[in-house]
Structure 1
Amino acid sequence: MSTTLKLTHEAIEVEVDGEPVGSVAMNKTIETPVEPGRHTVLLRDGRNSNRTETFDAADGETVAFRCTGKRFLPLFLASFFFRGLAIKLIRE
């Protein structure tokens, strides 16, 4: 009798203004339309997340962010207790 092992890697979930808009896999990009104005973006990877980031979008503008989990040692260690420090969002 044969057995199957199935492994699934969940991508980082993306929320804009508190609503889920999709997910982004490692080294991939997601684009989603937003209305001009002020918005918030939050990323979740299981229990890990970033601090909610606020941004203003002008009509026709592309607002770009890059996310990373790389942190210097004290923040990396603190992220085990404060999950909002686990993912860093950098505006490009």
Structure 2
Amino acid sequence: MPATVKLTRHLIGVQIRRGKFDVLVDGTGVASIDAHEIIETRVEPGHHTLQIRYGRYSSRTAAFDAAEGQVVAFRCGEKRFLPIFLASFVVPSLAIPLHRE
């Protein structure tokens, strides 16, 4: 029985990165997510990685273990503090916050 990855995208305040984000599981694109959207994708039990991308910008890669029948939930897209937002222009992996719920 597969596990499920659930991703929620929040959009708070004014944000520059407003388009659809690409969702990658184990480095492979599995879906796109828009503002205020929730997506679910199935994965085999075991160790996986999740990353969100928008052009050259991305989240850091989140590693997680999924058990049979488990729902592993993440959220992305909250507003960044100004210093981190500015740093994301130099370090693109800081651009999109990704947190496990």
Structure-2-length-normalised TM-score: 0.78
Corresponding residue number in structure 2 for 1:74: 83
Give, in whole Å, the separation in 1 of the partners of 2:20 and 2:94.
18
Taking only the aligned residue pairs, the percentage that are identical comes to 56
* Cα shift at 1:61: 0.6
User: With CA pairs under 8 Å and 6+ residues apart, which has the higher RCO, 1 or 2?
Assistant: 2
Residues 9-49 of structure 1 show CA distances to partners (whole Å, capped at 9, x for unaligned) of 74100010011101011110111000111100111111110
Give, in whole Å, the separation in 2 of the partners of 1:19 and 1:78.
26
- CA RMSD of superposed structures (Å): 1.2
Give, in whole Å, the separation in 2 of the partners of 1:10 and 1:73.
20
Corresponding residue number in structure 1 for 2:93: 84
Corresponding residue number in structure 1 for 2:61: 52
Higher fraction of strand? 2
Tell me which structure has the larger Cα radius of gyration. 1
Maintained 8 Å contact 1:50/1:88: yes
Give structure 1 stretches of 5+ with no counterpart.
1-8
Give, in whole Å, the separation in 2 of the partners of 1:24 and 1:75.
23
